[in-house]
Amino acid sequence: MKILLVGGHGTIGKRVATALKERNELIIAGRSSGDVRVDIGSEGSIADMFKQVGKMDACICTAGTGYYGPFATMTAEHMRPGLEGKLMGQVNLVLIGKEYLSEGGSFTLTSGIASEIPARNGTCVAMINGAINSWVLGAAQELKQDRRINVVSPGLVEDSYDRYRAFFPGYDLVSMGKVVNAYILSVEGAITGKILKVYA
């Protein structure tokens, strides 16, 4: 399969890349590194990326983040980068990318446990993750030609423990192997419209 992995040099993305690259043609896209450069916060940049990549069998996105900060002082401006990046960036990957996705191909997006169990200061990310999950449920009904879409919702992954432990007290760590398997299930399996929750 020809697979486009957006965010393939990130913590989760690089492990997904390792698992997929042996038996697939893998193209990694990222903001500051990768085979192709893209800022998913820009529709023009997404369109340019797909023009460069051309027809593909699967598109995975492990890119994006959202605002963490005190609710008392949070404003719409704080939320904008995450809404334009992780949320609308992934939505636009599908809206623009569906023209490049082969018949029977798949999209796999990424949300996160915060949709159900938000961390302190994590209201914005909770909203973004919940919106991605709901959008995938709807989009799965709309895609034609046997094209599929799923979303992986990871818990706090073990490789991120040092980076995030102060922000997620009490969250059980999730094995990276299980998270990677959820992406493989979405790409190589037959499921569609699923929120693949990988919580501990």
Ligand X SMILES: NC(=O)c1ccc[n+]([C@@H]2O[C@H](COP(=O)([O-])OP(=O)(O)OC[C@H]3O[C@@H](n4cnc5c(N)ncnc54)[C@H](OP(=O)(O)O)[C@@H]3O)[C@@H](O)[C@H]2O)c1
Point out which residues pair with 58 in neighbouring strands. Answer: 3, 106
d(CA 101, CA 3): 10
Contact residues for 18 (Cβ-Cβ < 8 A; gap 6+): none
With respect to ligand X, which residue has the nearer C-beta, 166 or 190? 166
C-alpha atoms less than 13 angstroms from C-alpha of 12 in its C-beta half-sphere: 29
Binds ligand X by CB under 6 A, chosen from 11, 102, 121, 134: 11
Phi, psi at 167, each rounded to 5° = -90, -20
Smallest separation (angstroms) from ligand X to the CB of 118? 12
| 198, 174 contact by CB (below 8 A) | yes
Smallest separation (angstroms) from ligand X to the CB of 13? 6
- What residues numbered 125-154 form the site for ligand X, per CB under 6 A? 154
Segment lying near ligand X (by CB under 6 A), choices 19-27, 68-76, 141-149, 157-165: 157-165
Smallest separation (angstroms) from ligand X to the CB of 145? 27
Angle at 77 between CA 71 and CA 78, to 5 degrees: 45
| 87, 31 contact by CB (below 8 A) | no
d(CA 109, CA 196): 10
- What residues numbered 59-118 form the site for ligand X, per CB under 6 A? 62-65, 85-86, 89, 110, 112-113
Q: How far is CA 182 from CA 15, 37, 54, 179, in A?
A: 12, 25, 25, 5
Segment lying near ligand X (by CB under 6 A), choices 34-42, 98-106, 136-144, 180-188: 34-42
Smallest separation (angstroms) from ligand X to the CB of 144? 27
Segment lying near ligand X (by CB under 6 A), choices 56-64, 69-77, 136-144, 185-193: 56-64
Binds ligand X by CB under 6 A, chosen from 18, 33, 142, 189: 33
With respect to ligand X, which residue has the nearer C-beta, 38 or 104? 38
Which chain residues interact with ligand X by CB under 6 A?
Answer: 7, 9-13, 30-33, 38-41, 62-65, 85-86, 89, 110, 112-113, 154, 156-157, 160, 164
